[in-house]
Structure 1
């Protein structure tokens, strides 16, 4: 199964970035969005991301230019998918929207096309037409996907084994780190851990125990170095499993219940402090532009990624 032409459906936060990932991987890419405004903004976002990769030395200027030339933009979904070997669905996490998109893909994409959903939590398989089930899978990415290498691959009940094998080989060839599940695990691994961390952090803020700054200081100076080098389960080995067992037996920690809302989040959102794009969230970003802040983040991630790669090379 050869994958040479990719259609990305949805040009928002993940979609435009996935178009760049696949273009850098050597794919011809057709990027579609139902919103003309979102589609018009995509080229500048893609060019900015590729420029950051060049500035960090992650890709060459010539490779970046070639990748950008591989991407075409279209307001027509039929045109986007007509010749696609792979259709990457990256639309909003709403079942009714995804169902409509899958029906259109089914109508216009070649019968041999693989459909890969970037869904974070929804089960997409009940939404996909029956005739496409054997060639449908999940390929879930993390933002920004042109830097973060993890790709969660999961089959549906009827997915042909060669589909997952093809996606694994494709993304491994991109230099990514595909992780294959034997079934859909809601939230995969990283998102489940992030959700648990979110609940605990918000519980501590909601109940007035600590500030957002306190939490970030504890993570940056207490957890992140060991997790980056070891992961969590190997960190337990280094700590000693007896210690982990004693911590559980002590019974001093009770996980927070999910109350389906957080007073802290409600208050911030009501005040318009919705994150970097709004200029404020838990932190106030002043007059700094969102684009500059994302570029700064990306450059730091790329430097860290290079350093971790060097450390991994030292493993025995």
Structure 2
């Protein structure tokens, strides 16, 4: 794909990794953030990510230097997006904030630039509301860390054009991502809906004293999670036999937790001030953990998984889907 001028609005946890991904693919990227401190610190975070990629053998020092040369920074949205072909918003998961950003994008980005939001589950239609031409707005939902995890969900709003979807699919493919198209703008899209259903049941098992957090995590990582990069949910069902899965569902569905509100275990932890690593405690106690080292070790392990994914996984389905 030809070089596209990319702008990323929001340089925090996701934005800096998204910018890095496009820069590694050879696209010039302009990064901006309303918070000067976050924008400034993005340089260090990008450098750390590049070092991990180099140490993991994914890129060379020369490629890392080229990626850095592709990234520039702007103090304001107006200058960041003025000549962009494609803009990705990666600000806080707050509808009002995102709508305010998209109002600015509509005013300052070129009228033919495509505008994407990295929302985890907010409505694309709602986010696109301030934009006059909603056909150019779509979702690109990345997964953390974005410069390593292959999947990006392309989410169509009601007015999103097919041209926008195909253009962004090609752009993501040029950055070695695995794009999937979410045809309907539903809360949580694909990945987060499945992940939320799994985590809710995991919290239920924890609350009922069925197992410790450590053993629940081990069961996921060493069991079905071990297979998932090779066998997706439907591939696994077909290979095991739908009749077997049907019998399991008959016995199990009435036992699964079907709460309609956020899991009370999370609510209780939040009320106690425990938010996870940022406060030192969540499900686990992170007080004495070197979080920078933990993140580096996590990313190196994920890079090993990425090598396996690229060498062993065929993105195409094993057979045509046929429900006739």
Instruction: Note whether the superposition's TM-score is higher than 0.5.
Output: yes
| Cα offset, 1:271, TM superposition | 4.4
Partners in 1 of 2:168 and 2:252 — Cα distance?
43
* 1:49-80 Cα shifts (integer Å, max 9, x gaps): 11111110111111111111111122211111
Q: Corresponding residue for 1:188?
A: 189
Contact 1:125 1:156 in 2 (8 A): yes
CA distance in 2, matches of 1:220, 1:131: 46
1:233 maps to which residue? 234
1:152 aligned counterpart, secondary structure: strand
**Cα gap change, 1:251/1:48 in structure 2, threshold over 3 Å: closer, same or farther?**
closer
Question: How many residues end up aligned between the 2 structures?
Answer: 315
Three-state SS of the structure 2 residue aligned to 1:13 is coil
Residue 267 to residue 156, structure 1, CA distance change in 2 (3 Å): closer
Partners of 1:51 and 1:67 lie apart in 2 by 12
Report the alpha carbon displacement of residue 292 of structure 1 after superposing the two structures with TM: 1.4
SS of the counterpart of 2:100? helix
CA distance in 1, matches of 2:226, 2:11: 34
The answer for unaligned runs of 5 or more in structure 1 is none
Partner of 1:280: 281
Q: Does 1:215 align with 2:216?
A: yes
Q: For 2:293 and 2:29, how far apart are their aligned partners in 1?
A: 27
How far off its partner does 1:144 sit? 0.8
Question: How far 1:289 sits from its partner (Å)?
Answer: 2.5
Match of 2:322 in 1: none
Give the drift of 1:130: 4.3
CA contact (8 A) 1:17 1:146 kept: yes
Distance in structure 2 (CA, Å) of the matches to 1:53 and 1:2: 24
2:118 maps to 1:118: yes
Comparing 85-94 with 154-163, greater Cα deviation is found at: 154-163
Q: CA deviation at 1:155?
A: 2.0
Asked if structure 1 preserves the Cα contact closer than 8 Å seen for 2:124 and 2:185, the reply is: no
Taking the aligned partners of 2:49 and 2:278, their CA distance within structure 1 comes to 16
Question: Equivalent residues in 2 for 1:1-316 (5 A)?
Answer: 4-128=4-128, 129-251=130-252, 253-312=254-313
Contact 1:277 1:290 in 2 (8 A): no
* Separation of aligned partners in 1, 2:262 and 2:191: 21
> Secondary structure at the residue paired with 1:131?
coil
CA deviations on 1:13-51 (whole Å, 9 max, x unpaired) are 111111111111111111111111211211111111111
For residues 71 and 145 of structure 1, what CA distance do their matches in structure 2 show?
16
1:216 aligned counterpart, secondary structure? helix
CA distance in 2, matches of 1:270, 1:262: 13
TM-score by length of 1: 0.93
In structure 2, the gaps of 5 or more residues are 319-324
Taking structure 1 as reference, are residues 165 and 249 closer, same or farther at Cα in structure 2, changes over 3 Å only? Answer: same
The SS at the match of 1:8 is: strand
Superposed displacement of residue 11, structure 1: 1.1
Q: Which moved more, 1:256-265 or 1:165-174?
A: 256-265
Task: State whether residues 206 and 262 of structure 1, in contact with CA within 8 Å, keep that contact through their aligned partners in structure 2.
Answer: no
- Deviation of residue 270 (structure 1)? 4.2
2:158 touches 2:185 (CA, 8 Å); kept in 1?
no
